[in-house]
Chains A and B, each alone.
Chain A
Amino acid sequence: MENKTRLDRVHRFVSTLNQARELGLVPREAGEGTLLMELPYSEKIIGNPDTGAIHGGAITTLMDTTSGSVIICALDEFELCPTLDLRVDYMHPAEPGKPVFARAETYKITSNIIFTRCEAYQDEGNTIANCVGTFMRIGKEASPKPYRDLITGGEE
């Protein structure tokens, strides 16, 4: 599959998630089992008004979305995979006024479970948070065909 196809699919998937749209998440780069997503800065998601730093919850949503969407970049066919768990380690707060990027990869895919890793950063090499996640494979039939076609653009 071409990287452009992967990125298009992620774009379409993310645009069906209200919260991801509200946050303004933008998929930037896709590869085989890799994905880069951007969270723009906005005042509504501030957690600490004294510093203007965004709340960890927005970072969690960024990482959950990126980790869940990187699965699209790893599988040929679209499958909706619910999150089983996430573990987020916070290195330091995000600097206000700047976007946060999340880079995710699938590092192990089995017939039932997908294991992901994700790093959030603002400047390359300066990690804000790390996240590992596991996702359950419930099969592509678990999501209706019209929705799958919406994501793949009917390319299945």
Chain B
Amino acid sequence: MIDPAVLEQTQKTGDFTDLLEGIPYARWIGLCCDRFGDDLIFRLPAKEQNLGNPILPAIHGGVIGGFMELSAEIYLILAQETLRMPKIVDFSIDYLRAGLNRETYAECHLTRQGNRVANVGVVAWQKSRSKPIATARAHFLLEG
């Protein structure tokens, strides 16, 4: 899924452009990632095509899920010492507030890394980190 040379380049420079360009779904929803020191902040800029509920309007819950799932995956790939591709096993998301039509952020943490399975937690917010719009956690199987 990810070219080892692109991964090495990303790890060295902290520039995620090439890595994200290689994943059509990331491009399609508009996922971005910035590195601050060792921390990664994932970003989903406002985009009309990502909307669900037209009344509020609000981002489609599925897109928020997809954004958090993909963030967890990329975060996990970068947290490995060698290139190991994660395979998603399950994903659970709690929606806490409506995701309005504005930029959304996500941060991940590795809750537990075993030999074969990793548990990654994700928090997504918009206006303030103290007011998350969703929390999620995913299990991944690590191969290779």
| B60: contacting residue among A17, A54, A85, A147, CB under 8 A | A17
Residues A85 and B25 in contact, CB atoms below 8 Å apart: no
Chain A residues whose CB sits within 8 angstroms of the CB of B61 once the complex forms: 61, 64, 68, 82-83, 86
Decide yes or no whether B62 CB sits under 8 A from chain A: yes
Q: Please measure, in the bound complex, the distance between the C-alpha atom of A49 and the C-alpha atom of B1, giving whole angstroms.
A: 6
| A60: contacting residue among B24, B54, B69, B89, CB under 8 A | B69
Residues A61 and B94 in contact, CB atoms below 8 Å apart: no
Query: Which residues of B in the span 49-95 have a Cβ within 8 Å of any Cβ on A?
Result: 49-55, 60-63, 65-67, 69-70, 88-95
Known: A48-B1, A56-B69, A83-B95. Is A20-B23 also a contact (CB below 8 A)? no
Chain A residues whose CB sits within 8 angstroms of the CB of B66 once the complex forms: 55-58, 60-61
Binding stretch for chain B, among A2-10, A39-47, A104-112: A39-47
Residues B53 and A80 in contact, CB atoms below 8 Å apart: yes
Residues A19 and B70 in contact, CB atoms below 8 Å apart: no
Q: Please measure, in the bound complex, the distance between the C-alpha atom of A44 and the C-alpha atom of B26, giving whole angstroms.
A: 9
Chain A residues whose CB sits within 8 angstroms of the CB of B53 once the complex forms: 17, 80, 82
Residues A17 and B51 in contact, CB atoms below 8 Å apart: yes
Q: How many residues of A contact B (CB 8 A)?
A: 39
Decide yes or no whether A154 CB sits under 8 A from chain B: no
Decide yes or no whether B29 CB sits under 8 A from chain A: yes
Least CB distance from B35 to A in Å reads 22
What are 23 pairs between A and B in contact, CB < 8 Å? A17-B52, A46-B25, A54-B25, A55-B66, A55-B70, A56-B66, A56-B91, A57-B70, A58-B25, A60-B62, A61-B63, A61-B66, A65-B52, A65-B62, A68-B61, A80-B53, A83-B95, A85-B92, A87-B90, A88-B65, A90-B89, A147-B54, A147-B55
| A22: contacting residue among B49, B89, B93, B94, CB under 8 A | B49
A-B contact count (CB 8 A): 127
| B67: contacting residue among A20, A48, A57, A144, CB under 8 A | A57
Q: Please measure, in the bound complex, the distance between the C-alpha atom of A49 and the C-alpha atom of B24, giving whole angstroms.
A: 8
Known: A60-B69, A61-B66, A62-B62. Is A18-B51 also a contact (CB below 8 A)? yes
| A43: contacting residue among B22, B24, B51, B98, CB under 8 A | B24
* Complex: chain A residue closest to B85, CB-CB: A48
Residues B95 and A82 in contact, CB atoms below 8 Å apart: yes
Known: A84-B94, A85-B94, A87-B92. Is A45-B28 also a contact (CB below 8 A)? yes
Q: Please measure, in the bound complex, the distance between the C-alpha atom of A45 and the C-alpha atom of B22, giving whole angstroms.
A: 12
